A and B are shown apart, each in its own frame.
Chain A
Amino acid sequence: MSTDVTLTLVVNGRRRRVRVPPMKRLLDVLRQDLGLTGAKEGCGEGECGACSVLVDGLSVCSCLVPAVQAEGAKIVTIEGLARGRRLSALQQAFIDLGGAQCGICTPGMLITASELLRRCRGRVPSDPEVREALAGNLCRCTGYQKIVDAVRAAARSAATRREGRR
């Protein structure tokens, strides 16, 4: 007799149905049941932010969210930031400015940065403001400099203002 539950999640704009143990981590549901391996397990204890996804617009550590808690939520993963093959302004800025080295923190950084830019509504956040917003996403490679530069560059770019939400 299975103790699994059937859950419906809206992931990157699509309704997805999964049958999983109720306390399975959202991170594992995304990676294993939905094949969305963009979110990474950096620590498994909510410290590093490599597993960050947007849940109803807020960047959260998916390693800390039990599947049942995500029922009915609107989830956006790194795979959902681009529109088809068109990268978001943030993604393009990271490429242009060298904001990624090994890339493990990058999905989480982009998720948290996209929440920040949406909150800013077209305003360019200050350097300290970006650093504080990203404080929950650890990076060991870059020293954060080019990540912060990329986030502010994306905020400045016309494409971001045109796109509105990203």
Chain B
Amino acid sequence: MFSYAACAVEVECDLDTGETRVLKVTTAHDIGTVIHPVLAAGQIEGGIVQGLGWALLEDVRWKDGRVWNHQLTNYIIPTSSDTPPIDVEMVEVAFDGGPFGAKGVGELPMDVPAPAVVAAIAHATGRRVSEIPVSPERLLQALSERA
């Protein structure tokens, strides 16, 4: 039993600063029967933004076996200002094996944004960065290579 998600993002990259802005997110999820549309969409929106943070902002740094950046000052998560409107589409196909036809939605939304962002950056800049978050430093590094 699998739930499925697809995600497309529109980004804008500043070639001087290496910053990437996400302008729009559209995502479609197949989670079986949607029992509570507001809660389900809310879960998806929340997971999408966590995925955007993973793609662009959140970088866990370790030192001597400890998380070095364990505060909100130095572990950066998306604010509302970093987050575009999110368009959520439900592809509703009842699943026989689930309660009321439902499957699962919990962790799925986080899987799709980062690959979408990396692909969008590649589309915009011609550079496919192989590590997330695609920080300004990493994008500038990629832009300076193989010109």
Chain A residues close to B by CB (< 8 Å): 42-43, 45, 47-48, 97-98, 101, 127, 130-132, 134-148
**A-B pairs with beta carbons under 8 Å apart, 17 shown:** A47-B71, A47-B73, A97-B38, A98-B38, A130-B80, A134-B80, A135-B79, A135-B82, A138-B72, A138-B79, A141-B46, A142-B45, A142-B46, A143-B48, A145-B41, A146-B45, A148-B85
User: A101, A130, A132: which contacts B46 (Cβ < 8 A)?
Assistant: A101
In whole angstroms, how far apart are the Cα atoms of A135 and B43 in the complex? 20
The docked-state distance in angstroms from the alpha carbon of A137 to that of B41 is 21
- How far apart are the CA atoms of A10 and B96 in the complex, in Å? 59
Q: How far is the CB of B43 from chain A (nearest CB, A)?
A: 8
Which residues of B does A touch, CB under 8 Å?
38-39, 41-50, 71-73, 77, 79-83, 85-86
Q: B42: which A residues are within 8 A, CB to CB?
A: 98, 101, 141-143, 145-146
CA distance A130 to B41 in the complex (A): 20
Query: A141–B43 Cα gap in the complex (Å)?
Result: 7
CA of A142 to CA of B86 in the docked complex: distance in angstroms? 11
Interface contact B72-A143, CB-CB below 8 Å: no
- Measured between beta carbons, the chain A residues less than 8 angstroms from B77 are 138, 140
Cβ contact of A143, chosen from B49, B71, B73, B81, cutoff 8 A: B49
Q: Please judge, given known A-B contacts A98-B38, A145-B86, whether A131 and B80 are in contact too, CB under 8 Å.
A: yes
Residue in contact with B73 in the complex, picked from A45, A130, A140, CB distance below 8 Å: A45
Q: How far is the CA of A135 from the CA of B76 in the complex (A)?
A: 13
B88 to chain A minimum Cβ distance, whole angstroms, is: 8
